[in-house]
Amino acid sequence: MLARTLIERKRDGGRITSSEWRTLMQRYGSGEVPDYQMAALAMAIFFNGLDRSEIGAMTDAMLRSGASLDLTHLRVGRVDKHSTGGVGDKVSLVLAPLVACLGVAVPMMSGRGLGHTGGTLDKLEAIPGFRTDLSLNEAIRLVERVGCALIGQTNEIAPADRRLYALRDATATVESIPLISASIMSKKLAEGLTGLVLDVKRGSGAFLPELDRGLALAQTMIDLGADYGCPVVALLTAMDRPLGRACGNALEVEEAIMALRGDGPADLMSVTYALGAEMLLLGGVVADRDEARRRMEVAISSGKAAAKFEEIIAAQGGNPAVVEDPSLLPQAVECELFLAPRDGVVAHVEPRAIGRGITMLGGGRTKVEDVVDPSVGFVITARPGDIVRAGEPLATVFARDRDGVAGGLAVLREAIRIADDAEPPLPLISHRVTEAGVEVYDG
Ligand code: URA
């Protein structure tokens, strides 16, 4: 009865109290409240929103639906990073070993693909043998031993979010500031962090494309962190084009490995260094961003960051040899170049079309139970603003068969727009948001 009452109240613009949120999430976690009622509530929230104290209460109720990581015995800062979701966003794969090898503990809990966006868990599972379904105890031992654990949500941590996340994907209720904030912060606050860095995406491929909504999302999550004494810093970064060149699980792992070996694309490295500097500052191991940048560059050029990735992969049951030899990653059966259809300027590389294209190729899910093919995707070398000639290669499709190749080429024809001239793309990193307020990012 409670769920129906709350759906009705939220539908009519009313409020849900803290104790109602707690009871609702407990009953949802135990299976007493069915998915169809949570879906109806999510839609009511999508349209009518939640006020600040309701967002806090919902987050707290989801956080308490499971256990938390207790890492207080570690004598180092514990910092994670989370992205609000993008296409080609393999930053976590580079950042986790990079920051961990510089002395900050990184207990990183990630999600699977959601909507058109990719998920870090699906990418990691492209590495043969890699296990993301670690128990809490295994994760704690790993952070103690290796300085990092790359895990998924088990039933132990924020199980209410785990179910709701998949449900929102299936019911078109992802794009809501209260729901995204509660989802991200309930699992991040369960990690027992001393700091959190958020990569809030903006632009056509983001769940919330508009700058003002991205800033509001960042501010909401920073406030939620403050409720628990966890400092949160957010950077607003561009998602009006994919990040880096590779889009698709194994292809992105390969690009992340190349980045750790010193050969990453410039945009991926800029976002990685910017977020990494914030993590190192929050972790208390550097005095300023310049020192952070220098230490990260040395960790990459010396091979220390790549060695840490090997160590993490081995510790989580994967084959660490992929770092030396990325050809050990799953390989697509078919691949074909996509050529520029005309002379002109690359006006747009549409991330949503690319993200949906990966799903069409078999690399993403339309249903929770779908099995993902890690080998498929796109490598897109064309960047907005590039001047191109007809017949010049702009991208490559990686597919399971010839039908996949044909479908992939059709996706690229739609996603890569060549015109006579082009609007400038969004700045790669535009704003930095902290408890103190919003500043224009100055690098
Ligand atoms: N990432 C999450 O963890 N949750 C959301 O709702 C969106 C992105």
CATH number of domain containing 368: 3.90.1170.30
Model confidence band, residue 156 (pLDDT cutoffs 50, 70, 90): confident
Q: Which of 122, 97, 117, 123 is nearest to 108 (CA)?
A: 97
Cα 46 to averaged position of ligand 1 atoms, centre (Å): 14
Residue 299: its pLDDT value, please?
A: 98
Residue 285: its pLDDT value, please?
A: 97
| Range from 28-32, 320-324, 356-360, 395-399 carrying the lowest mean pLDDT | 28-32
367 is catalytic: no
pLDDT in tens, 374-411: 999 999 999 999 999 999 999 999 999 999 999 999 99
pLDDT in tens, 192-220: 999 999 999 999 999 999 999 999 999 99
Nearest CA to ligand 1 atom 1: 84
Residue to mutate (ligand 1; options 62, 167, 174; most atoms within 8 A of CB): 174
Quote the percentage of the chain above a pLDDT of 90: 89
Mean pLDDT, all residues of the chain: 96
The atom of ligand 1 lying closest to the CA of 180 is 6
Residue 89 structure tokens:
């966003």
Q: Let me know: does 87 contact 351? Beta carbons within 8 Å.
A: yes
- Residue 60 belongs to a domain: no
10 is catalytic: no
Residue to mutate (ligand 1; options 59, 168, 183; most atoms within 8 A of CB): 183
Kind of pairing, strands 429-434 and 437-440?
Answer: antiparallel
- Do 244 and 158 lie in one domain? The reply is yes
Surface-to-core class of residue 167, CB atoms within 10 Å of its CB (0-12 exposed, 13-18 middle, 19+ buried): middle
Residue 426: its pLDDT value, please?
A: 97
Q: Which of 270, 279, 193 is nearest to 237 (CA)?
A: 270
Model confidence band, residue 155 (pLDDT cutoffs 50, 70, 90): confident
Supply the CATH number for residue 37's domain. 1.20.970.10
Q: What is the DSSP letter of 17?
A: -
Nearest CA to ligand 1 atom 7: 180
Residue 350 has pLDDT above 90, yes or no: yes
Cα 196 to averaged position of ligand 1 atoms, centre (Å): 15
- Residue 153 belongs to a domain: yes
The enclosing H or E element of 431 equals strand 429-434
Q: Which of 64, 78, 82, 123 is catalytic?
A: 82
Model confidence band, residue 139 (pLDDT cutoffs 50, 70, 90): very high
| Pocket around ligand 1 at a 6 A CB cut-off | 84-85, 111, 114, 165, 174, 179-180, 183-184
- Residue 72 belongs to a domain: no
Ramachandran area for residue 425 (φ above 0: left; ψ -120 to 50: alpha; else beta): beta
Cα 29 to averaged position of ligand 1 atoms, centre (Å): 18
User: For 160-172, what is the mean pLDDT?
Assistant: 89
- Do 276 and 344 lie in one domain? The reply is no
- Do 415 and 273 lie in one domain? The reply is no
Which range in 59-68, 164-173, 184-193, 308-317 is most confidently predicted, on average pLDDT? 308-317
- Residue 64 belongs to a domain: no
Give pTM, 2 decimals. Answer: 0.96
Residue 406 structure tokens:
């044909």
168 is catalytic: yes
- Do 122 and 255 lie in one domain? The reply is yes
Q: Let me know: does 202 contact 209? Beta carbons within 8 Å.
A: yes
Range of the domain at 238: 79-325+428-440
Residue 157: its pLDDT value, please?
A: 85
Residue 225 structure tokens:
């962190």
Residue 84: its pLDDT value, please?
A: 94
State how many domains the chain has: 3
Residue 6 has pLDDT above 80, yes or no: yes
